[in-house]
Structure 1
Amino acid sequence: MFNISRSLFTDEIEQVEPLREFKMPHFTSFKGDEEPERHLKHYRSTMILYQNNNDLMCKIFATTLQGEAQDWFCTLPPKSVRSFNELSSVFTKEYSSYRSIKKKSDHLFNSKKNPKESFRDYVKRFKAKKERIVGYNDLIARAAFQKGLPADHQLFRKLIMKEDLTLADYFALAEKYALWDEAR
């Protein structure tokens, strides 16, 4: 259990007052499910005017964490955060397992619609998986999307009859079928 009165920052960092001219920039929150280097790069570029202020960099970084990442941060030992470089290093080590692994288009064949999953959720999950593939092959992606559908689904039957559609066309049709499934 995290004790709000115990600071994870050293006394030097904790005692520094915020700058009067500092205005909190907008940050994309890190929830623990993406590449830590990407988040650090975004954070550093947003805080570029304050990069020489170690104390501010540490304190503000903590506000960019949410969910599991915030929980992780709160497990750090009291007074253990001495510098932003140290914090960055510990953060990167903790979340290094989320580094992108280059996958090929055929990886999409692992996506199947689960029986209890809504059609809309399957499409959303498939799109997210496709986005992680650099230079995906449209033909393979279409085949994988179609193969992931139940054979008795109306869209599956429609797709096997149409050969001239792109993946974007598949997703447009899928949206229509998602609405139809939800109306039933």
Structure 2
Amino acid sequence: MYNGRTDSVEHVSYFNQKMAVHSKNEALMCKVFPSSLGPVAMRWFDGLRAGSIDSFKELTQAFGSRFITCSRVPRPLVSLLSLSMREGGTLKTYSDRYWEMFNEIDGDFDDVAISTFKFGLPAEHNLRKSLTGKLVISICQLMDRIDKYKRVEDD
């Protein structure tokens, strides 16, 4: 259900996925779309003038225009550079914050992500030394290495 506060583009994308087998049936798509709307969005939908929408594309464009302020804006890559492990912080806390930020960035920046994660660690951290000595070439390898060091930290 769209609550009027989340990303409208993501909502339409999710709706399209749920209705994929019916995507060629414009009338059905238009009739079913309101069932995915919560009270705020439903008031908007009910306020549309009869006959003002001629296609599902027009409906989703009008929906997106109305709820544009809720659209998620991807974070810039430079956001990763501002993250570092806080003094006295744990590897788990740092990696959780890092991956949350990483997931908000659009694009394929795995090599930059690996470097910025490493440089966000204190110079004396064992994981940073490990990443400097034995390079990782993928995000999966980096995550595996982080998990190993988090287990050591937990013990």
Amino acid at match of 2:107: V
Task: Give the count of matched residue pairs.
Answer: 138
Instruction: Among all aligned residue pairs of Structure 1 and Structure 2, give the percentage whose two residues are the same amino acid.
Output: 14
The answer for the alignment partner of 1:19 in structure 2 is none
Q: 1:47 deviation in Å?
A: 2.5
**Counterparts of 1:145 and 1:167 in 2: how far apart (Å)?**
12
**Counterparts of 1:31 and 1:150 in 2: how far apart (Å)?**
42
Structure 1's 123 and 91: CA in aligned 2 closer, same or farther, altered over 3 A? farther
SS of equivalent to 1:180: helix
The answer for the alignment partner of 2:68 in structure 1 is 93
SS of equivalent to 1:43: helix
The answer for the alignment partner of 2:137 in structure 1 is 166
The answer for the alignment partner of 1:181 in structure 2 is 153
**Counterparts of 1:30 and 1:118 in 2: how far apart (Å)?**
36
The answer for the alignment partner of 1:57 in structure 2 is 33
**Counterparts of 2:91 and 2:118 in 1: how far apart (Å)?**
12
**Counterparts of 2:8 and 2:88 in 1: how far apart (Å)?**
32
SS of equivalent to 1:150: coil
Task: Choose from 19, 27, 39 the match for 1:47.
Answer: 19
Gaps of 5+ in 2: 49-55
Normalising by structure 1, we get a TM-score of 0.55
CA RMSD of aligned residues (A): 3.7
Normalising by structure 2, we get a TM-score of 0.62
Structure 1's 129 and 30: CA in aligned 2 closer, same or farther, altered over 3 A? farther
Instruction: Say if 2:80 and 2:116, in contact at 8 Å, map to a contact too.
Output: yes
The answer for the alignment partner of 1:120 in structure 2 is 92
**Counterparts of 1:31 and 1:80 in 2: how far apart (Å)?**
10
SS of equivalent to 2:67: helix
Instruction: Say if 2:85 and 2:91, in contact at 8 Å, map to a contact too.
Output: yes
**Counterparts of 2:83 and 2:44 in 1: how far apart (Å)?**
42
**Counterparts of 2:80 and 2:131 in 1: how far apart (Å)?**
17
Instruction: Answer with 173-182 or 36-45: which moved more.
Output: 36-45
Amino acid at match of 1:157: K
Structure 1's 163 and 77: CA in aligned 2 closer, same or farther, altered over 3 A? closer
The answer for the alignment partner of 2:119 in structure 1 is 147
Structure 1's 181 and 30: CA in aligned 2 closer, same or farther, altered over 3 A? farther
**Counterparts of 1:155 and 1:37 in 2: how far apart (Å)?**
39
The answer for the alignment partner of 1:81 in structure 2 is 45
1:134 aligns with 2:107: yes
